[in-house]
Structure 1
Amino acid sequence: MLSPTEIVNYEFDTKDLICLGISSVVGVWYILKKHWIANNLFGLAFALNGVELLHLNNVSTGCILLGGLFVYDVFWVFGTNVMVTVAKSFEAPIKLVFPQDLLEKGLNASNFAMLGLGDIVIPGIFIALLLRFDVR
């Protein structure tokens, strides 16, 4: 069993401290302004972390998961307005937003198209499985 001192024995180098500083600045920027660029930076970080941490065992499981996601998206996104209502009312980086009026308003754009992180992470997990399969 690990002792408590071994559990919290972290070693930081210069690049870790630089990353901590940059991520702290982006975090404060998101908390204060809720800007779409900060939202997308956090969303991409969460999506990459999800693809890295979640693993599938075989291709058939991935196909079932992708098929289930397809049926889920068809019903909840295109069949009802529940997902769009939740995504627009929930202020957290759970979606990537793309400004549709970027050319007119620049970085102060206010009309956004959305892409949920599940639509990135689930296919990304399947692609990571295929990449591991291809490497072997």
Structure 2
Amino acid sequence: MDKQVIGVPVISAAIHRLGAPTSAIVRTDNFLFTCGMPPIDCATGEIVTGSIEVQTRASLNALKTTLEQAGSSLANVVKVTIYVTNPAMMSGVNAVYREFFAGEWPARTSAAIRPWSLPFDIEIECVAVAG
């Protein structure tokens, strides 16, 4: 299988500053696979702190930006995985998630994990159909 890595410099640079050796997005055939997006401000590359709603919005905006730079969009997302440090936060996550994915919902998995060493509580990844 031929693999094409799509570079997304703003997000990749921010993720690399976090010490993660990863591509922001990879394309294989007609699918795009993102890495887990922490709450990153796409304009500054800085981690967004605050409530789980603020962090979720930043993570989803990072996904949106990454997909758009790869020629796709949130409308093409078929699978989402959400990692949170506390399952009690999911009601706040769901409130923001509904703003980004209205209508037909992508398949989704949510998992509670141990806290990261960095100051955020959520990371979101997805699989999307290429534009």
Q: More strand per residue: 1 or 2?
A: 2
Q: More helix per residue: 1 or 2?
A: 1
Q: TM-score, normalised by structure 2?
A: 0.26
Q: TM-score, normalised by structure 1?
A: 0.26
